[in-house]
Amino acid sequence: MGDYQVAGVQQDALGAVQLELGGNPNALALRRPFDPLAHDLEASFRLTRFADLKGRGCKVPQEVLNKLVEGLQQDYNTAADHEHAHFMHLAIPRIGIGLDCSVTPVRHGGLCLVQTTDFFYPLVDDPYMMGKIACANVLSDLYAMGVTECDNMLMLLGVSTKMTEKERDVVIPLIMRGFKDSALEAGTTVTGGQTVVNPWCTIGGVATTVCQPNEYIVPDNAVVGDVLVLTKPLGTQVAVNAHQWLDQPERWNRIKLVVSEEDVRKAYHRAMDSMARLNRIASRLMHKYNAHGATDVTGFGLLGHAQTLASHQKNEVSFVIHNLPVIAKMAAVAKACGNMFQLLQGHSAETSGGLLICLPREQAAAYCKDIEKQEGYQAWIIGIVEKGNRTARIIDKPRVIEVPAKE
């Protein structure tokens, strides 16, 4: 993995990293579902236990983040006035504050540096799949800007102080292998990173590309009459939580009237598969079908990200969402939990979700057909762009599309 930096890590915590660098003794188990017993761990081992935040949220509230971003933007505008003369010869704007990536003009050759970073806590119990999901999630921000090639990745890893030495030596190499395999699938490599010890396990990274200005799509060109396309189903958070509740009778009793154990296991595996899937083909097709902009749907839910995308539009438009594709049975689970997830209101967090794309009306059906042909997975037209004041909303009774429609 190249020059892997390690800062502030106790010597024994390096063992897991060195295991991975020297070859993975767990390689045979990588493609099978993770079984703690097969690795001499306790049957009760759960990776998600190392994300226990004692009731604290994993995300800064969106309204707080928006204020912080506004402050950054003001600082940037002041600095930009001073730098204007230096960059006048470049026909490339600095963009990115509040968007999925930062895009910075480099000093030579009319090229741009496109960068993004993200990390989060374990949300599935299979360490290999967790690594794949984390990598796909980092890359998704590039793909949302229409950037399909990644030149380099770094891995950011927090090893939980609560893990035993045995747990660490099994789990960390598997997470790293999943991350690296996903990077290879994306046509890129992990050349470095940072590992620290931490109360909670965290996994994420940095993705960097140097590209021509025509390789990215600034997400600000939606026009009245465009339609909104979503490339992955919603409901990942509901599916992951429902799966954890199989071990918690008091929680399971709330939802067992609307869903079976088998339904929950299927939904969980569909969610894992969806979260680990790259948005690369979706991004490539944005160019082919003349997308006017996109974002990826992650921690602030469908509506939160739709509102952010709408707020950045040059034209006076608003987004209206009518259809919600949801992993099968998860809308019923969300409803049985009262208003806990707010799935149908668009506030349920997603991880490594799909791209939400503004497409010309006449191109959208062809886009959906093309992506299904190439990937074997559906995309959906979920809403429209109308004249408005750069807001987004979901209609009162949206149509829920069960994914898949039937077994």
Active site residues: 58
Q: How many CB atoms lie within 10 A of CB 315?
A: 15
Pairing of strands 190-198, 112-120: unpaired
What is the sign of the dihedral through the CA atoms of 211, 155, 185 and 145? negative
Contacts with 23 (C-beta within 8 Å, 6 or more apart), sequence order: none
Integer Cα distance of 258 and 329 in angstroms: 8
Using CA atoms, how far apart are residues 386 and 223, in angstroms rounded to an integer? 8
C-alpha to C-alpha distance for 237 and 264, rounded to whole angstroms: 12
Q: Cα–Cα distance between 25 and 320 in angstroms, integer?
A: 51
Are 335 and 348 in contact by the 8 Å Cβ rule? The answer is: no
**Residue 302 — left, alpha, or beta (φ > 0 → left; ψ -120 to 50 → alpha)?**
alpha
Q: Where are the beta strands (DSSP E) in 231-362?
A: 293-296, 317-327, 355-359
Nearest to 228 by CA among 378, 390, 391, 364: 364
